[in-house]
Amino acid sequence: MTLTPPSSRPGRSVVLITCFNADAPTSGYATRVLQMVESYTARGFDVNVLRFIPAAHASPSWREALRERGARRVFECIAPPISRYELGRRLAIAWCRPLALAVRLCLRPAVVQAEGHEAAAVTLWRGAHALQVADLHGALPEETEYRRRRHSPSARAPRWFHRHEARALRVCDAYLVVSNGMIGHLREKLGQAAFHDKAYLLDVKSSPRFMRATAQVTRQDYGIRADEVVIVYSGGTQAYQRLSEIAGFVAALGAHVERLKFVIFTADPDAARKELGAAAEKMRVLIASVEPSELRAHLRIADFGIIFRDDHVINRVASPTKIWEYLLSGLHVICNRAAGNAAEAAGALDAALVVEAKPAIDAWPAIAHDVVEIVRKRRAAPRLVEHAACHYLKQEGGWEKRFDTWLAHMRTVQAAREASR
């Protein structure tokens, strides 16, 4: 087994497994999976994707998007509906394991990469022939607890979720995280059982496709005047996105800043209108859906991109894709401290306006003053943030460079593994 792609492809397969995610292929989770597929394929690997879709979910197929990125085979299989409770998750995982095993035995991949905790539960085990990678998209046990507390304030995640997380870290050869905060969280939680020497940071800053937008979009196309201050939200309408709170913030800011316009780009405009209710019409919010490949061109009509999150560990260890999409589109970022690494990333470019999601009454004049000053500077140098973001990625290394470093790391892991046999 070698990780250096030869000229012939037989035996050079990578199997990516995704479990129980019913999102559209434009979601943050899907974006990362698609980037993985595209990057492995571009480096000569045959990529095969096994996707388990929970029953009773109206989940769109990812097949076309995956094949477009270069996936050779795509298996989309129905799995039992999962729940936030332990029994439902266990049953779903037990259902999926035989098929995952069959795919592994048939394809004999060099690398098996589990996209998330549940995929790791389905397919990772000791003594496997393939190099095993767990790509941890977040803190699943804590996320489960967070979701349960929406129904019961005192709810906790079952111990099985925590035990499985520890098992996944123990049996994998390497695991990926999207932030240093995730490494710190696992070390604090598990101690030596976090196997921090297996951790590798591969965060999502932007996909190469995001930077290739060719459309020419102007404010005039949306009926927005040149002198308006435009705040854009780009993303889904899930509860954790806090879209209603974002709209409330923008509405309150409108009482202090003249000619303020709120724009929402989302894959499901109807869901956004339903979420905002009468506020959407009252605020005259512009809600639209755009092709992901052209998103950057549309984001550029704005002055600010906005993101809020709840103050919870699942958000503190996150690295939301939209942060760098905002920055690479030339936008300043309005965020709260809990919004993943938004304050850190945008702050490094002097492009962050950090606020409370619900500011005190006496805080609004200062916030409004900062907004006006930022807009004044933006009008004088419209592409300052975009150039700073591009320069930062050039210096630090964009996704492609960091993915090459990840492959080099895997070769080192493989060599160490073979030497220990």
pLDDT for 162: 86
Residue 29 maps to a domain: yes
Neighbours of 372 (CB within 10 A): 14
Which long-range contacts link 30-35 to residues 24+ away (Cβ below 8 Å)? 30/62, 30/65, 31/204, 31/207, 31/292, 31/321, 32/115, 32/135, 32/137, 32/178, 32/204, 32/321, 33/62, 33/66, 33/115, 34/62, 34/65, 34/66, 34/69, 34/207, 35/204, 35/207, 35/399
- Top pLDDT among 5 and 56 is at 56
Residue 5 maps to a domain: no
Is there a single domain that holds both residue 246 and residue 324? yes
pLDDT for 1: 45
Number of structural domains the chain divides into:
2
Residue 261 maps to a domain: yes
In tens, the pLDDT along 49-74 reads 999 998 866 788 999 999 999 999 99
Is there a single domain that holds both residue 189 and residue 231? no
Is there a single domain that holds both residue 371 and residue 402? no
pLDDT band for position 141 (cuts 50, 70, 90) = confident
pLDDT for 259: 96
CB-based contact 335:221 (threshold 8 Å):
no
The CATH number covering residue 127 comes to 3.40.50.2000
Q: How far apart are CA 15 and CA 122, in angstroms?
A: 13
Is there a single domain that holds both residue 147 and residue 197? yes
Domain that holds residue 258: 210-394
Residue 6 maps to a domain: no
Is there a single domain that holds both residue 316 and residue 351? yes
Q: Which amino acid is at 249?
A: F
Is there a single domain that holds both residue 224 and residue 351? yes
In tens, the pLDDT along 162-213 reads 888 999 999 999 999 998 889 999 999 999 999 999 999 998 777 667 888 7
Residue 4 maps to a domain: no
Residue 7 maps to a domain: no
Q: How far apart are CA 71 and CA 75, in angstroms?
A: 10
pLDDT band for position 90 (cuts 50, 70, 90) = confident
Mean pLDDT of the chain: 89
Q: How far apart are CA 218 and CA 230, in angstroms?
A: 12
Q: How far apart are CA 323 and CA 317, in angstroms?
A: 14
- Top pLDDT among 148 and 338 is at 338
Is there a single domain that holds both residue 20 and residue 114? yes
Q: Which amino acid is at 95?
A: W
Q: What is the β-pairing status of strands 131-135 and 111-115? A: parallel
Is there a single domain that holds both residue 253 and residue 402? no
Give phi and psi for 16, each to the nearest 5.
-105, 130
pLDDT for 82: 66
Is there a single domain that holds both residue 329 and residue 313? yes
Is there a single domain that holds both residue 176 and residue 274? no
- Top pLDDT among 53 and 144 is at 53
Is there a single domain that holds both residue 249 and residue 379? yes
pLDDT over 80 at 273, yes or no: yes
Residue 92 maps to a domain: yes
Q: How far apart are CA 46 and CA 71, in angstroms?
A: 7
Is there a single domain that holds both residue 252 and residue 333? yes
Q: How far apart are CA 78 and CA 90, in angstroms?
A: 16
Burial 76-87 (b: 16+ CB within 10 A, else e): eeebbebebeee
Considering just the CA atoms, what is the radius of gyration of the chain in Å? Answer: 22
- Could you tell me what percent of the chain has a pLDDT over 70? 92
Residue 130 maps to a domain: yes
